[in-house]
Amino acid sequence: MIDILPQIAHNYIAQAAFWGWFTAQAIKFVWQLVRHGKFRPERLVGSGGFPSSHTSFVIATTTAIYLKNGASDLFILSLVFSIVVMYDASGVRLEAGRQAQILNQIVDYFTKKNIPVVITRKEALKELLGHTPIEVFGGLILGILVACIQFYYIYNGVI
């Protein structure tokens, strides 16, 4: 098991996946800091927001597979999974976040009116779960760019 870790760390496809995710998360963190003036370290690992790190992760992986292996069976499989992830991010998870927002409003309303509620919770439900289509598109573009830039630098001997 220990022998496999250096192999993974030096694998172009694994690196592209990591940098696709990390770059998206870093952009979200900096955007939150610049736009809203809020230091929120959870944005480095949290879901939701622009760009979609899930999309950037899977698209960087898919692009890296294509650049390294061409239109192989592995590329097609990765592409199909990428489409599923993007659909889930902008569909199911986005709606779950909207439902959490409504449930939080209902519980807050009942609490303010001193109406007993069956739901007990220590903190609000997480509302930032999914992505709008533009956030998914941003992750798609970022994932392609990260994998292409990395491919160029690795295979041209720059890094």
Torsion of CA 112, 47, 138, 156, to 10 degrees: 160
Cis peptide before 51 (omega within 30 of 0): yes
Gap between the Cα atoms of 112 and 115, Å rounded: 8
Give the pLDDT confidence score for residue 132 in this predicted structure.
83
Handedness of CA 150, 151, 152, 158 (dihedral sign): positive
How many other C-beta atoms lie within 10 A of the C-beta of residue 145?
A: 16
Percent of the chain having pLDDT more than 70? 86
Give residue limits of the domains in the chain. Answer: 4-91+130-155, 93-126
Give the pLDDT confidence score for residue 127 in this predicted structure.
60
Handedness of CA 145, 136, 61, 31 (dihedral sign): positive
Give the pLDDT confidence score for residue 114 in this predicted structure.
79
Residue 93 has pLDDT above 70, yes or no: no
pLDDT band at 11 (very low <50, low <70, confident <90, very high): very high
Q: What is the pLDDT of residues 95-153, one digit of tens each?
A: 776 777 777 787 778 778 877 777 666 676 666 666 788 989 999 999 999 999 999 98
